[in-house]
Amino acid sequence: MLSVRFDYKLWIELDGLKLGHGRIKVLESLLRTGSISATARELSMSYRYAWGIVKKMSSANPPLVRVWRGGPGGVEVTEEGRRVIERYREMERGVERVVKYGPSPSITVDGVVLSGGEVLLVKRARPPFENMWALPGGFVRYGERLSEAAVREVEEETGLRCEILQFVGFEDSPLRDPRGHTITAVFLLEVTGGELRGGDDASEARFFSPNNLPPLAFDHGDILKKALRGNL
């Protein structure tokens, strides 16, 4: 009888620190217990070994945990640490879905944010299209609504809080993203607060006149043309 076994190794790398299944379990235990000693007991490891992992996590940039000195091994998992846990488990579920059902397109969102007749763009800090301008956006998280993802991505990449004005449509060309087949949902948004800055995958965020746009990444030039019809 033919027996097929699939195995894989998954990790996130942050500031030279690799976080695989074991270290993610440590981070999750610290989030639950807030204690190095409790985590060591829960995961059947020595306090010294657990402390070594915690020390590396606290030295990451940005730090994944904060250690309360003078206390009984007290630890707080930072917002970045929580994001790393969420991202790792999201990636893990994605791999499991591919193994179970086969490959499928990834779902993304793009936000068209207008203010004073200008459109918000971000300069990409990572490949593909590194250092090119693009619409703020990114991948939808597991269990997240498309509209929620659009609002979240805009705030993460630009610092601006927004609300949805309308759904513009989908772009689904299998060739639109060099990383693979993605289907993006495009939303028109308006600014409600926050402070403009580049963040997350964006090194810079800025408003541009639609008549003086820089070259845009992906198919964002075509997306903007469709979104701006009747909205300026």
Give me the active site residues, please.
204
Preceding amide of 210 cis, omega within 30: no
Query: Do 134 and 216 meet the contact criterion of CB atoms below 8 Å apart?
Result: yes
Rounded Cα distance, 117 and 147, in Å: 23
Q: Residue 89 CB: number of other CB atoms within 10 A?
A: 13
DSSP 177-195: -TTS-EEEEEEEEEEEEE-
Query: Do 57 and 39 meet the contact criterion of CB atoms below 8 Å apart?
Result: no
Q: Residue length, the chain? A: 232
User: In this structure, is the dihedral angle defined by the CA atoms of residues 156, 159, 165 and 166, taken in order, positive or negative?
Assistant: negative
